[in-house]
């Protein structure tokens, strides 16, 4: 798996040679983690589920180039109710360590500082036609933030 630049676009080339446009502002579906605070700030459950999000920017290193992308989650798949829910309380991170936006990284690049997720192989572009189903979603979902 690798991330390349082509025609002013950032492209993820998966191991099976499928290509996904992961340029800024693209809408994608991906596997991510919902961090649910249980009882107190010291106990966090990590729930793997599907998200729809918007790509905000890349993560890169001067020596290896682009190593991942940051994705702002917009919708979360409710694995109990089998439905998409609209995330209504997303806020930009204000500390060095954060869980959202999700940081999806190439599996070979290990980073212990920013809670990276190694789910780039699950990412898929969503077309405008596919997004029409999300316009009518009225059920809301609130993320847990550890600094609250």
pLDDT tens-digit map of 92-144: 888 777 889 999 998 876 655 567 899 999 999 997 677 777 878 889 999 98
Could you tell me the residue range of the domain that residue 100 belongs to? 2-141
Looking at the domain assignment, is residue 147 inside a domain? no
Number of domains in the chain: 1
Whether the predicted pLDDT of 38 surpasses 90: no
Q: Is residue 148 part of a domain?
A: no
For residue 131, give the DSSP letter.
H
The band of 40, judged by pLDDT with boundaries at 50, 70 and 90, is low
How many other CB atoms sit within 10 Å of the CB of residue 99?
21
CA–CA separation, 127 and 83 (whole Å)? 19
As to burial, measured by CB atoms within 10 angstroms (0-12 exposed, 13-18 middle, 19+ buried), residue 28 is buried
Q: Name the residue among 33, 61, 65 with its Cα closest to residue 49.
A: 33
- Nearest-angstrom CA–CA distance, 12 and 16: 11
Q: Which two tokens stand for residue 26?
A: 């693209």
């Amino acid at each position: 798996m690798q991330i390349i630049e082509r025609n002013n676009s950032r492209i993820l080339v998966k191991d099976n040679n499928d290509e996904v446009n992961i340029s800024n502002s693209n809408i994608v579906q991906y596997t991510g983690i919902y961090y649910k605070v249980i009882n107190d700030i010291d106990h966090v459950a990590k729930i793997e589920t599907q998200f729809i999000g918007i790509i905000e920017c890349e993560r890169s290193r001067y020596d290896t180039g682009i190593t991942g992308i940051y994705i702002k989650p917009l919708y979360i798949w409710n694995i109990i109710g089998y439905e998409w829910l609209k995330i209504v309380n997303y806020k930009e991170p204000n500390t060095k360590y954060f869980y959202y936006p999700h940081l999806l990284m190439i599996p070979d690049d290990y980073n212990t500082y920013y809670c990276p997720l190694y789910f780039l192989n699950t990412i898929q572009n969503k077309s405008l036609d596919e997004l029409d189903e999300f316009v009518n979603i009225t059920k809301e979902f609130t993320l847990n933030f550890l600094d609250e």
